[in-house]
Amino acid sequence: MNIALITIGNELLSGFTVNTNAAWIGNHVLQVGGNIVWHQTIGDNKDEIHASLNQVSSDIRAVIITGGLGPTHDDLTAIALYEYTGDLPVFDEDYWQFLQKRLDKRNLNLPEINRNQALKPKKGHCIPNPLGSARGLHFKMNDKEIFVLPGVPREMKAMMNSTVLPWIEEQSTGGMTITTIRTTGIMESGLAEKLGEIVNALSDNIKIAFLPQFTGVDIRVSGMDKTAVKQKVDEICIQVKKYIYGQNTDRLEDIISQMLIAKDLSISTAESCTGGLVGHRLTNVPGSSDYFLGGIISYSNYVKENNLGVAKSTLEQYGAVSAETAIEMAENVRLKLGSDLGLSVTGIAGPGGGTSEKPVGLTFIALTDGNNTRVKEFRFLSDRQLNKNASSQTALNMVRLYLLNE
């Protein structure tokens, strides 16, 4: 089913707001069997709203409109739609009472400016808003359904989920199944090579896309046939198992969390170039206090030596960015904090600090369990932020691979 999207807002045109609503709507509509085939952004202006609706082509079955439903003078969407559809706004005394009561509870007054929030269409319907006062509108005009929603992302999403997406799903023959396989530790070209046979033998009803980022490559498998998508995902998982850490919205730190809890192991960190990012990511997971004891951010050599106990001779002979220092950092933080595993990162994040022998991006990561310590050398990039992200991702992936093989 072809669907048009009209997003309304001067803030969108001027670029002060990035239109994340459009991406969210596009993706969720796809999953219930619709297709956004045309999307227009216009300013808060009645004539432009009318012009935009006139440009919607005849093969479009539904129009989703977001933005401009608030109480202020800028919010012209509702008026424009009443005019365009020829429907009439009537005052909804019950809803006005409801709004007043809700504010009474919080000892607040409901300003008169909000009266337009209590209008409802005579022929069309209101779409309930569980999170705000601006209700949505649902009109039917000629052969098209028109859904009007607020632009506030959380309100829009709640109303899409409760009203618009179920309607699309009901009208559709079937939604698209989309599975994203998340990998790290391998380049796009490496994946393409290993998956060459699978990609070349694809039938028309399945699509595979590689989405490279600096922290790993996502593989997106999509198609209308749920079983066929699942089968293709399984084939890929077998072929490149080692590199896959999760699916869809899984984060590497979530996966490690499950593994550490399952194996009842604790971990601590010794970070130099990442400056605390590894600890930050580990503690993004609720309940991480069950396995993350803490860490030492040894950004200066003074802290590496005096607080983490890296030998002065190691720092002098091999330097702070070396396999030897990384090993001592991991082993010492494990002992000092009393955890099962010790993880360390030391590198040159840049832009300064690089030499021809030790360029920006050079990073050593070590992991120890007390019996064995593994250390690996990496050559990342020239950008500070990317280096920190890549280092933290690679460090967490070393933990994942260790736990996988235990």
**Hey, which residues between 291 and 350 contact its own copies (CB under 8 A)?**
292-300, 302-303, 306-307, 336-338, 349-350
Per CB under 8 A, which of residues 197..216 are in contact with its own copies? 209, 211
Binding test (CB under 8 A) with its own copies, winner from 8, 36, 329, 366: 36
Please state whether the peptide bond connecting residue 111 to the residue before it is cis, i.e. omega within 30 degrees of 0.
no
Binding test (CB under 8 A) with its own copies, winner from 44, 75, 87, 271: 271
Options 41-49, 103-111, 139-147, 154-162: segment touching its own copies (CB under 8 A) = 41-49
From residue 114, alpha-carbon distances to 97, 245, 285, 300, 358 in Å are 12, 49, 40, 57, 64
Binding test (CB under 8 A) with its own copies, winner from 16, 227, 249, 262: 16
Closest among 369, 365, 366 to 405, alpha carbons compared: 369
- The answer to whether 65 and 81 have CB atoms below 8 angstroms apart is yes
CA distance 173 to 125: 25
CA distance 278 to 252: 11
Per CB under 8 A, which of residues 374..393 are in contact with its own copies? 384-385, 388
CA distance 217 to 184: 6
Pairs from 45-48 (Cβ < 8 Å, separation ≥ 24): 45/76, 46/76, 46/79, 46/80, 46/83
66 binds its own copies (CB under 8 A): no
279 binds its own copies (CB under 8 A): yes
38 binds its own copies (CB under 8 A): yes
42 binds its own copies (CB under 8 A): yes
189 binds its own copies (CB under 8 A): no
How many whole angstroms from its chain centre is CA 308? 35
CA distance 276 to 365: 14
If the CB atoms of residues 129 and 346 are measured against its own copies, the closer one turns out to be: 346
As measured in angstroms, the least distance from the Cβ of 273 to its own copies is 8
35: β partners: 2
Closest among 153, 115, 149, 116 to 135, alpha carbons compared: 149
Binding test (CB under 8 A) with its own copies, winner from 89, 132, 185, 275: 275
As measured in angstroms, the least distance from the Cβ of 222 to its own copies is 9
- The answer to whether 304 and 312 have CB atoms below 8 angstroms apart is no
Binding test (CB under 8 A) with its own copies, winner from 189, 231, 258, 284: 284
CA distance 173 to 154: 28
Q: What is the largest CA-CA distance in the chain?
A: 84
CA distance 315 to 6: 60
Options 60-68, 134-142, 282-290, 371-379: segment touching its own copies (CB under 8 A) = 282-290
As measured in angstroms, the least distance from the Cβ of 189 to its own copies is 12
Name residues whose C-beta falls within 8 Å of residue 213's C-beta, 6 or more positions apart in sequence.
none
If the CB atoms of residues 119 and 345 are measured against its own copies, the closer one turns out to be: 345
If the CB atoms of residues 176 and 191 are measured against its own copies, the closer one turns out to be: 176
If the CB atoms of residues 215 and 268 are measured against its own copies, the closer one turns out to be: 268
CA distance 358 to 351: 13
65 binds its own copies (CB under 8 A): no
286 binds its own copies (CB under 8 A): yes
From residue 260, alpha-carbon distances to 181, 248, 398 in Å are 22, 21, 13
How many residues sit in the footprint of its own copies (CB under 8 A)?
Answer: 75
As measured in angstroms, the least distance from the Cβ of 163 to its own copies is 19
Options 76-84, 149-157, 181-189, 275-283: segment touching its own copies (CB under 8 A) = 275-283
103 binds its own copies (CB under 8 A): no
As measured in angstroms, the least distance from the Cβ of 125 to its own copies is 26
As measured in angstroms, the least distance from the Cβ of 353 to its own copies is 8
As measured in angstroms, the least distance from the Cβ of 256 to its own copies is 14
Query: Hunting for tokens 């840049």 — which residue is that?
Result: 350
Which tokens belong to 87? 């429907």
Binding test (CB under 8 A) with its own copies, winner from 15, 264, 372, 405: 15
